[in-house]
A and B are shown apart, each in its own frame.
With several copies, the nearest count.
Chain A
Amino acid sequence: MSKVYNSFAKAVSDIRDGSTIIVGGFGLCGIPEKSIEALRESGVKDLTIASNNCGTDDQGLGILLANKQIKKMIASYVGENKIFEKQFLSGELEVELSPQGTLAERIRSGGAGIPGFYTATGVGTPIAEGKETKEFNGKTYLLEEGIVGDFALVKAWKADTLGNLVYRKTARNFNPLAAMAGKITIAEVEEIVEAGELKPEEIDTPGVYVQRVLLGTDYAKPIERLTVRKA
């Protein structure tokens, strides 16, 4: 019952034109590099992608933008990408901006069977336009809807053969949420171990959320803003 796949091409081969995909990562940290590359190779189009950011011009989800595979982007911040700007301004690309905390909760909710929840975030701002509001204890809240993906692409540090996942440092970010919200969740990792080698208390994402596990190699792990001090 191993969930391990040997080919990224095969693991993404049933992602079709028009699919909705939730993608983990924050900026270029903890992004599923290899699955994104495989998606570019597959050439599927008209994708709706929910991810906090959309990569840079030549990294991360940016390579799917450059290849014109994305129809709609749901994100909280898309500022690092000139191709994004061009496609957005030309009307090629549809964009739904969602505040970061709302986006994280919408993805978790999708995975948790919660179709909608209320938040004070965005009340009185352009984000509230067209959304239902409701008062609780005299305060106004917005209704935000859960997001479910046909697929989710996540990057973890380690997996076991049952799909249990462990993340590394702040590369965790949106990945555990994306894993919950994919009908089919594809996890790529830097190391795969046998079931039982990860301690039950260290597992961040239980394997029940994960359908496919792949070993990635030669991760680029680009750093967007290198900030250091002298020794």
Chain B
Amino acid sequence: MDTRLTIVKRAVKEIQDGMNVNLGIGMPTLVANEIPADVNVLLQSENGLLGIGPYPVEGLEDADLINAGKETITTVPGSSFFDSAESFAMIRGGHIDLAILGGMEVSEKGDLANWMIPGKMVKGMGGAMDLVVGAKRVVVIMDHVSKHGESKVKKTCELPLTGLGVVDRLITDLAVFDFTDEGMVLVETSPGVTVEEVKEKTEAPFIISPDFIQS
């Protein structure tokens, strides 16, 4: 199983029946495909839709019906359209149960950086800054280690922040962490991954949960 699929399959467990969920662009979008049929959720798209359905059947795509990633989509029964101010009233006002976003760096205090690399072209934060402060629960999914072999789980984020102390849970290809008043807590490791390996590849210090699960 590639690391992306490992992460996505773990992330989908965060989704519970009855939730309203916002999935970020990129890897988080893939989580939608893994939601079990008996789990009823409404997926929110911040451009103005609650109740995203699957991609349209070829030829039936509609340019007026897209998600926040600008992909053509469909709607599910019970969906609703609204304007972008209403959409972010929902997000900022704490009505979205769960947001799953990608990350570039997460700090031990739950700070998140995922929108800007200094020196590179600034593309903009889109709705990410609103989502991380507004959603009831924020789960970040990302590779544990960068392509250059550096830990992306930092003592302090080096990249400009998306939000300060906003991450509730971090899911990487190696482990799952929670961010609590006591600090960063290791709650799981992925199959075949030891706590030693996680320690080695994590710049930030962490404590181990009493409920720690070795997969």
Contacts and interface: CB of A to CB of B under 8 A. Distances in A.
Nearest to B56: A228
Contacts of A176: 83, 85
Interface in A185-207: 194-196, 198, 200-201, 203-204, 206-207
B136 to A, nearest CB: 11
B93 interface: yes
B134 A108 contact: no
Contacts of A196: 77-78
A215 interface: no
Nearest to B121: A85
A151 B73 CA distance: 32
Contacts of A229: 54-58
B64 A170 contact: yes
A97 B161 CA distance: 14
A112 to B, nearest CB: 4
Interface string B46-57: 111111001111
Contact of B73 (A27, A78, A227): A227
Nearest to A126: B160
Interface stretch (A15-23, A38-46, A63-71, A98-106): A98-106
B164 A173 contact: no
Contacts of B70: 26-29, 224-225
A75 interface: yes
Contacts of A162: 42, 78
A125 B123 contact: no
Interface in B124-143: 124-130, 133-134
A229 B33 CA distance: 12
Contact of B69 (A112, A121, A225): A225
Contacts of B46: 100-101
A227 B87 contact: no
B85 A77 contact: no
B90 interface: yes
A108 B85 contact: yes
Contacts of A108: 85, 89
A101 B91 contact: yes
Given A99-B125, A124-B161, A229-B56, A207 B80 contact: yes
A98 to B, nearest CB: 9
B146 to A, nearest CB: 21
A123 interface: yes
Contact of A127 (B44, B84, B125, B127): B125
Given A97-B125, A221-B63, A221-B64, A104 B78 contact: no
B63 A105 contact: no
B82 interface: yes
B34 interface: no
B202 interface: no
Contacts of B172: none
Contacts of A124: 111, 161, 163-165
B72 A104 contact: no
B100 to A, nearest CB: 17
A125 B161 contact: yes
18 contacts: A26-B48, A28-B63, A29-B47, A78-B123, A99-B129, A112-B89, A124-B163, A170-B45, A172-B81, A173-B83, A173-B84, A200-B75, A201-B81, A203-B80, A206-B82, A221-B63, A223-B72, A226-B61
Given A169-B62, A175-B83, A208-B95, 11 more contacts: A28-B70, A99-B126, A101-B91, A105-B89, A112-B93, A113-B93, A124-B161, A174-B84, A206-B86, A221-B63, A229-B55
